[in-house]
Amino acid sequence: MTDRGNFGSKIGIVLATAGSAVGLGNVWRFPFMVGQNGGAAFIIVYVGCILLLGIPGMVSEFIVGRHSQANAARAYASFSNSKAWGLVGILGVLTSTIILGFYAVVAGWCMQYLGASVLGQLKGDSTFVLHYFQRFSTDPVKPAVLGVAFILLTHFVIVRGVKDGIERVSKLLMPLLFILLLIIVGASCSLPGAGKGVEFLLKPDFSKLSSQVFLEALGQAFFSLSLGTACLCTYASYFSRHTHLLQAAGQIALVDLLIAVLSGLMIFPAAFSVGVLPDSGPSLIFITLPNVFQQAFAFMPMLGYVISIMFYALLVFAALTSTISMHEIGTAFFSEEFGMRRSHAAWILTIVCGLIAVFCSLSIGQADLQLFGKSLMDFCDFVTAQVMLPLGALLTSILVGWCASKVVVRNEFTNHETASSKSFFGFYMFCVRFIVPVCILLILMHQFGVI
């Protein structure tokens, strides 16, 4: 078996795992969900989901991974002493491979927009920007090539290993991302009329709350924390024996939330200042925003130009640290389970995900690439985020809460009674045994129309 490698430092652990969590989910998905679901009211529900389900879910995956110090499939099998549970790890490998396929397509769009911003090609009125997006995303060649290029970029980080590849890139990109974000938030919030955007984000309108909003918040929390695909389990297998799992989960969830809220503070004040309602859904950052930046900074076009470049660079960085984590799950699996060299294992993943990306990208312009009435791209998004991901998280909580030895779970949680988080163990177990599975079952039943 290959030498597994480990993260080299505490800060490396937090930054790499936060890098996985912070991604397009925060900068792209979170703002449009907030926009569609009542602003601050959504955020309050979202924070509740993170505390009661997200953090316990993260800790559970950490426990399985850190205890077993192996790839996802072996970790689940050895933690439960049963080969059958290894299938949950394999499900995780499968889910993350599919997610990487379509996620890379959107990441490729971000690269295109970064290039277009640099070349100043996004200038024009809102119809121009709309047509630009439609023309580009339905083009058969360019977006597919960019999606594959993004996977290759990920590949070259992965082959350098855990410490020299993943940890190093995260330590560089995460602080950079944070600085870019703060600069754009500052510029956006200082625009005239920006106050309305801030108010929308921070003043709750509870009349918008419904069970649908709750489900959306829960799904978003899982996706944003990279839960349910054995991603956290794989990263935790590189944690040190001294890492306080609850503390790490809390820190990562906090960073994730902070970046999501700051992303809102970057987008809404600018949008409101030019009178654009931020409820346009997934196309928000590709259709609404380029125009918003132009109009908002019309008094100083150079600033608009720089902000637009910074924004798409930020998206690319956020996406890259996340695609790295998705790629690592499969790479670790193939290299350890089949005794392959890490670079060969990485190529398998790169090729499979590259093919998924090409077909997903083509499915946007081609009506015949459909499954169950959805384009392949939407179908992959749906099956992973709404079915496979909750299923993975549900099975993990059943394993840790009900099937595994409580002593082992406690020892991992408390680092053999040395961690200060000992007193939270009872509450953690309660969440993992009852709250997490019940809530996920509710989501799944809702998904399939049972309730």
Q: Which residues bind ligand TRP (CB under 6 A)?
A: 20-21, 23-26, 96, 99, 223-224, 226, 229, 231, 322, 325-326, 389
Nearer to ligand TRP among residue 187 and residue 326 (C-beta)? 326
CA-to-CA distance for 401 and 64, rounded, in angstroms?
11
Nearer to ligand TRP among residue 167 and residue 305 (C-beta)? 167
Nearer to ligand TRP among residue 20 and residue 237 (C-beta)? 20
Nearer to ligand TRP among residue 129 and residue 225 (C-beta)? 225
How near is the Cβ of 392 to ligand TRP at its closest, in Å?
Answer: 9
Nearer to ligand TRP among residue 25 and residue 330 (C-beta)? 25
Please name the residues in contact with 118: beta carbons below 8 A apart, sequence gap of 6 or more. 309
Q: Are 421 and 71 in contact (CB under 8 A)?
A: no
Give the count of beta carbons closer than 10 Å to the beta carbon of residue 211: 10
Buried-exposed string 311-341: b where 16+ CB fall within 10 A, e elsewhere: bbbbbbbbbbbbbbbbbbbbbbbbbbbeebe
How near is the Cβ of 167 to ligand TRP at its closest, in Å?
Answer: 16
Nearer to ligand TRP among residue 23 and residue 278 (C-beta)? 23
Residue among 267, 268, 298 nearest 125 (CA): 298
How near is the Cβ of 72 to ligand TRP at its closest, in Å?
Answer: 11
One-letter amino acid for residue 215 of the chain: L
Nearer to ligand TRP among residue 223 and residue 305 (C-beta)? 223
Residue among 253, 252, 290 nearest 270 (CA): 290
How near is the Cβ of 19 to ligand TRP at its closest, in Å?
Answer: 9
Nearer to ligand TRP among residue 170 and residue 224 (C-beta)? 224
How near is the Cβ of 225 to ligand TRP at its closest, in Å?
Answer: 6
Query: What is the C-alpha R_g of the chain?
Result: 21
Nearer to ligand TRP among residue 103 and residue 133 (C-beta)? 103
Q: Are 222 and 228 in contact (CB under 8 A)?
A: yes
How near is the Cβ of 92 to ligand TRP at its closest, in Å?
Answer: 8
Please name the residues in contact with 107: beta carbons below 8 A apart, sequence gap of 6 or more. 24, 147, 150, 315, 316, 319, 320, 323
How near is the Cβ of 386 to ligand TRP at its closest, in Å?
Answer: 12
Nearer to ligand TRP among residue 7 and residue 272 (C-beta)? 7
Nearer to ligand TRP among residue 68 and residue 226 (C-beta)? 226
Give the count of beta carbons closer than 10 Å to the beta carbon of residue 217: 25
How near is the Cβ of 381 to ligand TRP at its closest, in Å?
Answer: 11
How near is the Cβ of 191 to ligand TRP at its closest, in Å?
Answer: 27
CA atoms within 13 A on the CB side of 316: 21
Strand partners, 371: 374
Nearer to ligand TRP among residue 146 and residue 227 (C-beta)? 227
